[in-house]
Structure 1
Amino acid sequence: MKNTFTFVLMLLVFSAKAQTLQSPSKEITLRFSISDSGTPLYQLDYKNKPVVSKSMLGIYLKGNTDLAANFKIDNVKTTTFNETWQPVLGEQSNIVNHYNELTVALSQNGTNRKLNIIFRLFDEGMAFRYEFPKQPHLNYFIISDEKSEFNVTGNHKTFWIPGDFDSQEYAYNETKISDINTDKIDLNNGIGLKSIAGKFVVQSPLMMKTDAGLYLNLFEAAVVNYPVMHLDVNPQTFAFTSRLVPNAIGDKAYLQAPCVSPWRTVMVSDDARKIVSSKMILNLNEPSKIDDTSWIKPMKYVGIWWEMHVGKSTWDYAGSQNAQNTESQELIASGKHGATTANTKRYIDFAAKHGFDGVLVEGWNVGWEDWFGNWKEEVFDFTTPYPDFNLAEINAYAQSKGVKMIMHHETSGSVANYERHLDRALELMKRYGYPAAKSGYVGRIIPRGEFHDGQTMVNHFNFVARRFADYKMMVNSHESSRPTGYHRTYPNYIAAEAARGNEFNAWSVGNPPMHETILPFTRLLGGPMDYTPGIFEIKMSAYDKTKKEQVHTTLAKQLALYVTMYSPLQMAADLPENYEKYPDAFQFIKEVAADWQESRYLEAEPGDYITVARKAKGSENWFLGAITDENARSTEIKLDFLTPGKKYKAVVYQDGSDADWQENPKSYAIKTIQVTAKSKIKLHLAKGGGTAISFTPVN
């Protein structure tokens, strides 16, 4: 690891006059001050123009006390930090972490309580957090509210989803701030559990664009021992205020000094590519706490999963808890169970034949019959397979084929039950050589009254990552709180869902074509997403002629998603037989990398399009993905990211001339050309379409 540190230290006693800090590029300027009532205030400028007007900061404690007023500045410290570090897995093999920092030490008149506010300015934005130092007048305390304001300077275009404490699985709304209103959205969207906090509450990360062409993003980083931050909206004043998720009795966080809050972040740029490529969220997290990371590896996998979503098979073995033999009380097989030994071997054979690392099997363990709709404490024990799933036989077969099995832990939202069984579940994985598990949190949380985004659950998700690390195993969480860069600290937290994934296309109104152009500006800023791309059989009528649902992309766009939607854990999500129908298109999924030396965001506009080129780690091969929204698009791309002086074979997987995500989504064409770093290539993307390209050096 290569590190460079430069420190400039000033320690002075200040009055209430404003303090100023600039980013390393000097394009972003922070001004901090104290109001006449002793309230901390900040404002943010970009290239000498305001982007966040004067906004208040403060913490409220249970018991009608606050850390929001009557402050005076004790001292101010500024530092500069610059390092280059190497992630275990990532979009870049080297990440620059360069910022200027301002720490304002405050004391409260009357109580003599201490509060530090720490600001960091990067070239792409600002971050701040509250620090509670060890002190005689504040030890154990309960946060009842946090009032961090973000008063933006206009009625910006905004990409938002409702402030739901239990789910992020919404399609994005594109409106002005003044039109934000959760009452106006269609809730017939396939989400089973909704806990929307109010008509003027939205989730972060929140992406915006000003009329002047500036891009703004409000988010948070390093959420540890703290609830997730949502945002209250004032549609008239264009003000956003932090909204913390409460626990079962209404408290927000239980803390003990010394401690810190998560970072609150404001990204700003006049170039959308700088937002989507930013590593600021990752940089605000602590370095890896895992010394030996050699066992943390990227994976491409197939699995028994999509066939349940399209209705070909089921997760449950019997179909109903009542389907029992009256004498033995044993469940009677329905004949539709997907996770059978024979079916799993079929997927293992397919993975081995086509070079995939792993096979995921959902529905392997007992309990699925008596769960849906029941707020039940003990559904799964995570160790007992159904009678038609032979763990030992399957894993011996997988090992003989050089394929790893991926465990599935659906918790049914009963987190207390999962934690009780976790070590036994991990021991089972260890016994059979499972390197990773996909966890799920469908349904209402137990302990009852808790939300997915509360402090208790944040601590649980982070605990699971740490416990998996003890066993040298990786975890991929679904229905969890959205990541905020914790995978830097525990890189075995290899991926998460935590957004509306591809599965919604199988049985709901689906994901609109612009959905995948927004996620890189929102959900993916916090960490890699297991979006499960690669669906080739686009229309669900292929399985049932009465079905109207479909994937809202072309087949070529499904290929491009492997590049535009970063994850070191990538699934070829469709059925093996569907890939066998289109072996030439499937070739791209087989070849595309999952871990990267370098990434270049060539074009980006939230809600419209994105084009990314990535170089595979340990290789000279490059891959490009370009996607668009519901509008067809033509563009010309310079290939100057390629190594000068080298010739490359470019295999272009593109929409067919008659392709359309609604009318003709499976129309695609493949061509092979020779290119160099001096070449340009014209791309033609159909409505809801995309292009994927592989570049291989020609010897």
Structure 2
Amino acid sequence: MKNQSLIALFIISLSLFSCGVASSKVTSPDENIVVNFYLSNEGQFFYTIKYKEKSIIDTSFVGFKLLDAPDLEKGFIARVKKPNKVDETWQMLWGEQENVVNKYNEIRIELEEKENLKRKVNLVFKVYNDGVGFRYEFPKQENLKEVLIAEENTEFNLTEDYKTFWIPGDWDIYEHLYSTTKLSEIDAESYIPKTNLAQTYIPENAVNTPVTLVGKNGIHLSFHEASLVDYAGMTLKVDTKNLGFKSSLVGSRNTAYKVKRTAPFVTPWRTIQITENAPDLIQSNLIVNLNEPNKLGNISWFTPMKYTGVWWEMHLGKSSWDYGMEMVDGKWTDTGKAHGKHGATTENVKRFIDFSAKNNIGGVLVEGWNTGWEHWIGFEDREGVFDFVTPYPDYNLDEVTSYAKEKGVQIIMHHETSAATETYEKQQDTAYALMKKYGMHVVKSGYVGKILPKGEYHHGQYMVNQYNNAAIKAAKYEVAVNAHEPIKATGLRRTYPNIISREGLRGQEFNAWASDGGNPPEHLSIVAFTRMLAGPIDFTPGIFNIKFDEYKKENQVNTTLAHQLALYVVVYSPVQMVADLVEHYEANPAPLEFIKDVGVDWSKTKILNGEVGDFVTIARKERKTGNWFLGSITDENSREITINFDFLDENTSYEAKIYKDGKNAHWNDNPLDIDIETVEITKKDKQTFTLAAGGGLAISIQKKD
């Protein structure tokens, strides 16, 4: 491949310039990244990328396979516009930091068919110091109006057999454990016999994004997409022989095309983050920067918060979502009375409200409050099962919301759609209006099950529009959305800052009910450098009763208690669940202090160290108080971590309350062993800590009076 590209460079460069192209490359502001553009002698467009003179992306072609029209792949002439330089700073309304630098060099390549229909498609490249984003633009034109895309053929051909952290290109769910293999050893279809998920479809050897790669010389790459709007989600088909990826869009069983659009329109950005180390991947703002600026304006009605809720007790089996059905003679039967295990009762929710109010926790999530839960699991036709305004008889919505308001706690709404999209669409206005009436500003939505209408997948164009349109409509009612079973995060929180968080990974609940042993200790050390690069995660940390002896002796969380505390800093979300049962926190007041203190909205974030799949340490500065919080987690290996506190303010003394693994701590053998100490530190201090196997470190750093 390399020899072929060298031969092509000379011929194609002549072809470019003979067409009047003014430039054939664009560089990053620091000139470390160079993107070159070429046309083959058949009029095919391709690009290459170098980082510090090392080839990262080799000859990679682009194009589209269309339905009912000739493909857009060759026969082009090209015009390259003069590069544009952008250097701006914008403010996050909430997030990992207040001020975001958006600095890049941009170039636009206008491709037009030389003969026949003379159809046009533009490519826009934005090159940052930490990577590259490019997208396609279909301008308004006479011979290409309705565009039916059967496949987008965007190549990413690599130059070595990278160590790769990946999950399969499942069209329906992201809730898989990560594999770590060479690129040449990726086998997504090996997941098929292992899946026991509510929905899954793995049609080929492809991976979902973000997919992160580590090179022999320390180069780190992550492939993803940004600003996914009215388009199908992109998986990456793997070429294990030639070491590359090619875009493979999520389709539908109902149409021969994967995307239907009318020109003019733009595609999502195809993104390649390029850094010299793992921490810089997390520090990168490439994905969020590639989205359009805020379209909602001020959303002061949304407050980042921690929250509790009747959720974990349902996964443990202490209570249930449904109210009044029983299994009689092997069939679900409506007995007309409660079975006594319903979790979302007025009394139980008040208990969570009291606990939240006492412990600096701003919200309570109530799942299972509305009618319909008895009828949806296992039923093929789920349309019309749920409504989103009618509570069960033992849940008094007026009383609960009034009580929460008195206590200064917000009730977080829950909408489980059961993937019955038409039912949810019809009821959205009514449901959001009910929330506005009661002063609820956050909804957790769910889409468990196969999508209705049949034939659609969670990550196809149909559902991309469902998720996005639901959030855009929610903003009109002053509602922020935390979506579960979602499409991937692609930075839309910049454009619509009421898109606050989402699931989109294998979450904490797998520890409670998975038969495969739950999430391994390395899980979140991979997630931090893969899924978290896409955006905020609703992971539900903070489990104190790690062994589940009271409810599920065969299951457990595979981390130490200190690891669970550290997740409040490591795994970012503006809404962080305090997920365990009230009684488990009340029995452990000392570690609960960290959860009471830790922030959720940050002015600065520093990634202090880390390696993908091994460990990571993150420090964040809280916006309101100026206090710092630090979290560090490791995989199944114990290790020493040296923390340099030089990120702290000059000439300032801090009180650091340290929550660290005890001497005998171990994720399986002794997960609750934790030491807590308070010391004084300044920016000049360095300290070394030992993280136990599956362990962690959490530090609350507050200015001394």
Alpha-carbon distance in structure 2 between the residues aligned to 1:270 and 1:220:
21
Alpha-carbon distance in structure 2 between the residues aligned to 1:320 and 1:42:
62
Structure 1: which amino acid aligns with 2:318?
K
Structure 2: which amino acid aligns with 1:516?
L
Indicate the SS of the match to 1:55: strand
Counterparts in 2 of 1:218 and 1:83: CA distance versus 1, 3 Å = same
Contact 2:156–2:245 at 8 Å: present in 1 too? yes
Offset, 1:319: 3.4
Indicate the SS of the match to 2:462: helix
Offset, 1:321: 8.3
Contact 2:565–2:697 at 8 Å: present in 1 too? yes
Contact 1:13–1:76 at 8 Å: present in 2 too? no
Match of 1:477 in 2: 483
1:343 aligns with 2:348: yes
Match of 2:558 among 540, 552, 557: 552
Match of 2:81 among 73, 76, 80: 76
Cα displacement string for residues 112-137 of structure 1 (whole angstroms, at most 9, x for unaligned residues): 10110111100000111000111111
Indicate the SS of the match to 2:549: helix
Structural RMSD (CA) = 1.8
Contact 2:326–2:334 at 8 Å: present in 1 too? no
Contact 1:77–1:104 at 8 Å: present in 2 too? no
1:30 aligns with 2:35: yes
Match of 1:514 in 2: 522
Counterparts in 2 of 1:250 and 1:583: CA distance versus 1, 3 Å = farther
Contact 2:66–2:72 at 8 Å: present in 1 too? yes
Alpha-carbon distance in structure 1 between the residues aligned to 2:443 and 2:247:
33
1:525 aligns with 2:530: no
Alpha-carbon distance in structure 1 between the residues aligned to 2:322 and 2:418:
14
Alpha-carbon distance in structure 1 between the residues aligned to 2:208 and 2:262:
27
1:210 aligns with 2:215: yes
Match of 1:6 in 2: none
1:385 aligns with 2:391: yes
Cα displacement string for residues 65-88 of structure 1 (whole angstroms, at most 9, x for unaligned residues): 111111111343310111100011
Offset, 1:692: 0.3
Contact 2:61–2:155 at 8 Å: present in 1 too? yes
Contact 2:543–2:564 at 8 Å: present in 1 too? yes
Structure 1 consecutive aligned stretches of length 4 or more whose deviation exceeds 6 Å = none
Alpha-carbon distance in structure 2 between the residues aligned to 1:612 and 1:500:
21
Structure 1: which amino acid aligns with 2:641?
T
Offset, 1:187: 4.7
Match of 1:172 in 2: 178
Q: Which deviates more, 125-134 or 271-280?
A: 271-280
Structure 2: which amino acid aligns with 1:662?
N
Match of 2:7 in 1: none
1:299 aligns with 2:309: no
Indicate the SS of the match to 1:475: strand
1:414 aligns with 2:420: yes
Indicate the SS of the match to 2:111: strand
Match of 2:430 among 421, 424, 427: 424
Matches within 5 A, 1:295-444: 295-320=301-326, 331-375=336-380, 376-444=382-450
Counterparts in 2 of 1:186 and 1:627: CA distance versus 1, 3 Å = farther
Indicate the SS of the match to 1:541: coil
1:622 aligns with 2:649: no
Match of 2:14 in 1: none
Match of 2:288 in 1: 282
Alpha-carbon distance in structure 2 between the residues aligned to 1:75 and 1:51:
23
Contact 1:190–1:504 at 8 Å: present in 2 too? no
Alpha-carbon distance in structure 2 between the residues aligned to 1:329 and 1:66:
56
Cα displacement string for residues 152-178 of structure 1 (whole angstroms, at most 9, x for unaligned residues): 111110001011001000110000011
Offset, 1:542: 2.8
Alpha-carbon distance in structure 2 between the residues aligned to 1:622 and 1:309:
33
Matches within 5 A, 1:65-214: 65-109=70-114, 110-185=116-191, 187-188=193-194, 190-198=196-204, 200-214=205-219
Match of 1:606 in 2: 612
Counterparts in 2 of 1:558 and 1:121: CA distance versus 1, 3 Å = same
Alpha-carbon distance in structure 2 between the residues aligned to 1:185 and 1:660:
29
Match of 1:8 in 2: none
Alpha-carbon distance in structure 1 between the residues aligned to 2:390 and 2:577:
26
Offset, 1:413: 0.5
Q: Can you give the 5+ residue segments of structure 2 that lack an aligned partner in the other structure?
A: 1-16
Alpha-carbon distance in structure 1 between the residues aligned to 2:242 and 2:21:
27
Counterparts in 2 of 1:190 and 1:676: CA distance versus 1, 3 Å = farther
Contact 1:18–1:34 at 8 Å: present in 2 too? no
Alpha-carbon distance in structure 2 between the residues aligned to 1:169 and 1:59:
30
Cα displacement string for residues 162-198 of structure 1 (whole angstroms, at most 9, x for unaligned residues): 1100100011000001111124347545522111122
Alpha-carbon distance in structure 2 between the residues aligned to 1:253 and 1:312:
44
Matches within 5 A, 1:45-84: 45-84=50-89
Match of 2:550 among 542, 545, 558: 542
Match of 1:244 among 249, 254, 270: 249
Match of 1:221 in 2: 226
Structure 1: which amino acid aligns with 2:174?
Q
Indicate the SS of the match to 2:464: helix
Alpha-carbon distance in structure 1 between the residues aligned to 2:22 and 2:522:
46
1:493 aligns with 2:499: yes
Counterparts in 2 of 1:587 and 1:617: CA distance versus 1, 3 Å = same
Match of 2:474 among 468, 471, 484: 468
Offset, 1:227: 0.7
| TM-score (norm: length of structure 2) | 0.95
Structure 2: which amino acid aligns with 1:215?
H
Indicate the SS of the match to 1:607: coil
Match of 1:7 in 2: none
Structure 1: which amino acid aligns with 2:653?
K
Alpha-carbon distance in structure 1 between the residues aligned to 2:18 and 2:302:
48
Alpha-carbon distance in structure 1 between the residues aligned to 2:60 and 2:87:
28
1:667 aligns with 2:667: no
Q: Which deviates more, 598-607 or 269-278?
A: 269-278
Contact 1:411–1:418 at 8 Å: present in 2 too? yes
Structure 2: which amino acid aligns with 1:460?
Q
Contact 1:598–1:614 at 8 Å: present in 2 too? yes
Contact 1:44–1:53 at 8 Å: present in 2 too? yes
Counterparts in 2 of 1:550 and 1:139: CA distance versus 1, 3 Å = same
Offset, 1:548: 1.6
Indicate the SS of the match to 1:499: coil
Match of 1:565 in 2: 571
Offset, 1:274: 1.4
Alpha-carbon distance in structure 1 between the residues aligned to 2:156 and 2:194:
31
1:690 aligns with 2:696: yes
Indicate the SS of the match to 2:181: strand
Alpha-carbon distance in structure 1 between the residues aligned to 2:19 and 2:590:
68
Counterparts in 2 of 1:186 and 1:41: CA distance versus 1, 3 Å = closer
Alpha-carbon distance in structure 1 between the residues aligned to 2:219 and 2:688:
28
Contact 1:320–1:370 at 8 Å: present in 2 too? no
Match of 1:9 in 2: none
Contact 2:22–2:79 at 8 Å: present in 1 too? no
Cα displacement string for residues 179-222 of structure 1 (whole angstroms, at most 9, x for unaligned residues): 11124347545522111122x11111110001121101111000
Indicate the SS of the match to 2:74: coil
Structure 1: which amino acid aligns with 2:92?
P
Match of 1:650 in 2: 656
Offset, 1:620: 2.3
Contact 1:227–1:455 at 8 Å: present in 2 too? yes
Indicate the SS of the match to 1:482: coil
Indicate the SS of the match to 2:493: helix
Offset, 1:374: 1.2
Offset, 1:440: 0.3
